[in-house]
Structure 1
C-alpha cells in the first residue's frame, strides 16, 4: 500500500477546520524505520482576527517583543495536542500511512515560516523575506528584501531593506527586483525582532 499524501492532506484540512485551525504545510520524511509526518498549523482567519483585535484594544497578550501580530500563528500547545490526538486517531483508523510505525509532529509554522501560495505573499506584504529562484535573475538565485508588493503573480522586493550577501550584492545595483511567483523555488519570512 502506497502513501496517499493528498488524502492525508485533505484529512488534515478537515481535522484542522474542526479545531478553528488551518493547515499551513504537511511533509512526510524518512525511510522504512524512521518516518515522520510533520504538520504545521495556524489559527484560522477568524481566530487570527480575534487575536489582532485583542492586541489593538490593548489587551495583555504574551507576544514576543517587536513581532507583528500577523506573523503569529496563534497556535498553542493545547491546539497542537488536540489536533494530534484527533488526526492521529483518524490516520490510524483509515490506515493512510502503511506500516505500524511513524512519528506525528504538530507545530506552528514559526516566525520564519515558509511562503508557498499566492495568499501567503499577499498576506505578508511589508515583511522581510528571503527566497531562491529556479532560474537566475541578474545572475543571482538568492534574494533577500522587503516584500513591498505582490500583484498579478509578481513579487516586488525592496533590496535596500536588508544587507545583501554574496552574489546578490554583485548582481544588481538596483534597489528593487521583481520576481514572477512561478520562478520562486522556495521562500521564507525573515523574523524582525
Structure 2
C-alpha cells in the first residue's frame, strides 16, 4: 500500500467509523494531468446515500487540509463502491459467501485466469467458487495469494 493511501486511511477511518459507515477502499491515481484521491464508503447494509458521502468528504477534506499529507494538487472524490464493489479484506470475503463474484488471478488456476460465479466457501488461504462453463457447473479452489482482483459481479443469467 502506498504511503499516501496509508496516511489517508489513518485520517479517513475515524471519520467514517464515527458516522457509522464502512471504509471500503482508497485510490490515489493520476489521470491525464490530474491527481484523484478516491475514497469509497458504504453502510453495513450497502445503501450509502449522497448526504453521507458529502459528510465524509467535508470532514475528510478538513483533516487533509490540517495534516497536508499529499504534496501535489488533487481532487477528492467520496462515493459508493457501486454494485461491483471490490473484495479486499477478509471481512469482505466472509460477507460475500453465497454471492456472485468475479475473480482474476495473477497466473492460471485450472487453465484459467478469470472466474465468475458463486463464492461457496472462504477459508484463510483459499476461496472456493462454483462456476459455470457452458453447461457444466464446476467447483474451483483459488489461493488468495494468486488473486489480482476480486469484486462482486452482476449475475445476468439469473
Which category of TM-score, normalised to the shorter sequence, fits these structures?
Answer: 0.7 to 0.9
Structure ranking higher in strand proportion: 2
Structure 1 residue ranges without an equivalent (≥5)? 49-72
TM-score (norm 1): 0.73
Structure-2 residue corresponding to 1:29: 29
TM-score (norm 2): 0.88
Using the TM superposition, give the Cα deviation of residue 33 of structure 1 relative to its aligned residue in structure 2, in angstroms: 4.1
The 4+ residue runs of structure 1 with deviation greater than 4 A are none
Name which of 37, 49, 59 aligns with 1:86: 59
The two structures, once aligned, show a CA RMSD in angstroms of 2.1
Q: Which structure 2 residues correspond to residues 174-189 of structure 1 after superposition, within 5 A?
A: 175-189=138-152
Using the TM superposition, give the Cα deviation of residue 154 of structure 1 relative to its aligned residue in structure 2, in angstroms: 1.3
Deviations 1:4-63 (A, max 9, x none): 3311111111111121111100000117941100000012x4xx3xxxxxxxxxxxxxxx
Q: Which has the larger radius of gyration?
A: 1
Structure ranking higher in helix proportion: 1
* Alignment: residue pair count: 154
Using the TM superposition, give the Cα deviation of residue 152 of structure 1 relative to its aligned residue in structure 2, in angstroms: 2.9
Structure 2 residue ranges without an equivalent (≥5)? none
Deviations 1:134-184 (A, max 9, x none): 121122111111111112321111113xxx4xxxx6xxx761101111111
